[in-house]
Amino acid sequence: MLGALDPNDTIAAVASPPGPAARGIVRLSGPAAWSIVLGSFLPEHESPPPRRAETRRGSLRVDGLRPLLPVMLALWPAPRTYTGQDVVEVHLVGSPPVLSQVLSHCLTRGARPAQPGEFTLRAFLSGRIDLTRAEAVLGVIEAANPAQLDAALEQLAGGLSGPILAWRDRLLDLVAHLEANLDFTEEPDVDPLGRAALAEELDRSAADLQAIARRLDDRDRPEGYPRVVLVGPPNAGKSRLFNALLGRDCAIVSPQAGTTRDYLTALWDCDGLTVELVDTAGIEPAGDAIARQAQTFRADQARRADLLLDCRSAETDKPGDAGIASSQPVVRVWTKCDLADLDPDDTGSAERLPTSAVTGAGLEELRVAIARRLRGQDFEGSLPVGTAARCRGSLLNAEAAVRSAAESLLAGGGDELIVFDLRLALEEMGKVVGAVVTDDILDRIFRRFCIGK
């Protein structure tokens, strides 16, 4: 368990990405970090250990390496460092065998290998960052595209924790106030007006908490990517368009109607957004058991879509046809335009993007249209996967506890009951901002980090 790791050990790890590079970094954090490195360091200019963050040039005498290694040291004194401890980074040539030699040199001098995420865990334990920020660091490391990276960076800046912290502070004040009453007065605070105002304020807090939870609900992508689902009549050219967009042949294409039965999914880079693209069976009245199953799959995928691509064949379908009716966002597409002359003045064709999977015409426009629609739905603001799900439950629990406190207040319940509920709410909010943390949460978050972060 990461939560059980001793934060007083000095830890070390290669902190640069794996593989050869111009420069590599070995990072140490802990009480002995500086002495371990400085003990083998020959500086260009002799000077005492710095009292502020500083870099030093010189060479390192490393066990098992004959020549002295030219290095640059970055030294940060505790407590104003990322981990809250003494930190040192050894910057040197990015050769993997040399880096591993330097690391083992440090390990034989008293450091132990850092577990994945352990540097960030220390940052969290020392109160330098809260849990949402810790997870955002992970988001930055794992971000699959620029949009996710933006979201992770925003979260790293405290986007999520700010409003929640503000509420937590208000609740803390309230609890302090009520507890003072418990301690110092025999009679409960019986000012009915004051209690009604307090109850109203609590109701407002509960509504705010619910709103934040709901916002997370909207923004959380269980799989992390917006889903774009191709739908339309059999033979409309969905599978061929699916292949053309992906740039490889995954789906079976044939002139026979009813070719696609299962649904297919593939990750697709759509104008900088990573999207899960889904091909489905053509919409038709269900026939035999297989066709029924195909329709169930299709309906289920369509329901879970963030955006539907409604495909009609320009060869066979009429321009006036409105296409599928759906409350979900839809981009309407003409397929097989190479087989038909579309009149650009025809309103029907203007509302549908003309494409051809054979000539590639219109595919770029389609890509841009899809990305624009998804960005309009704020997928760029999606939280790093997992954060929203983890926070939502706690926010809803906090909301329920605050509402229960408000009810007790109005019903004239004792202050003990109210304080009890508010404490519950605080604990739940604490789970979000990391003030109260179970080992389980720590472990779940930090074991996903890579070593050296």
Ligand X SMILES: Nc1nc2c(ncn2[C@@H]2O[C@H](COP(=O)(O)OP(=O)(O)OP(=O)(O)O)[C@@H](O)[C@H]2O)c(=O)[nH]1
Residue ranges binding Mg ion (CB under 5 A): 239, 259-260
Q: In the complex, what is the shortest distance from the CB of residue 246 to ligand X, in angstroms, rounded to a whole number? A: 13
Q: Is 332 in the site for ligand X (CB under 6 A)?
A: no
Binding partner of residue 322 among Mg ion, ligand X, none, CB cut-off 5 to 8 Å per kind = none
Among 35, 104, 259, 377, binds ligand X (CB under 6 A): 259
Binding range to ligand X, per CB under 6 A, among 25-33, 83-91, 255-263, 323-331: 255-263
Of 195, 298, 336, 390, the one binding ligand X (CB under 6 A) is 336
Residue whose CB is less far from ligand X, 48 or 255:
255
Nearer residue to ligand X within complex by CB, 165 or 291: 291
- Which residue in 281, 385, 396, 437 binds ligand X (CB under 6 A)? 281
Which of ligand X, Mg ion, none lies near 188, with the C-beta cut-off 5 to 8 A by kind?
A: none
- Partner in contact with 387, chosen from ligand X, Mg ion, none, beta carbon below 5 to 8 Å by kind: none
Does residue 349 bind ligand X (CB under 6 A)? no
Q: Does 290 bind ligand X (CB under 6 A)?
A: no
Among 335, 382, 394, 408, contact with ligand X (rule: CB under 6 A)? 335
Determine, following the binding rule CB under 6 A, whether residue 85 of this chain makes contact with ligand X: no
The C-alpha atoms of residue 120 and residue 382 are separated, in whole angstroms, by 22
* Closer Cβ to Mg ion, 200 or 249, answer by number: 249
Residue 107 touches which member of ligand X, Mg ion, none, C-beta under 5-8 Å by kind: none
231 - beta bridge partners? 310
397 binds ligand X (CB under 6 A): no
- Cβ atoms < 10 Å from Cβ of 371: 21
Q: Which two tokens stand for residue 95?
A: 């050769």
Closest CA to 351 of 322, 317, 384: 322
Q: Closest separation between CB of residue 292 and ligand X, Å? A: 15
Minimum distance, C-beta of residue 275 to Mg ion, in the bound complex (Å): 19
**Residue selected from 255, 285, 320, 344 as contacting ligand X according to rule CB under 6 A:** 255
Question: Taking CB under 6 A as the rule, does residue 236 contact ligand X?
Answer: yes
In terms of Cα–Cα distance, which of 346, 326, 363, 343 is closest to 237?
A: 363
Per partner kind, with CB cut-offs from 5 to 8 A, the member of ligand X, Mg ion, none near residue 105 is none
Shortest gap between Cβ of 260 and Mg ion (angstroms)? 3
Q: Which residues bind ligand X (CB under 6 A)?
A: 234-240, 253-255, 257-260, 281-282, 335-336, 338-339, 356-358
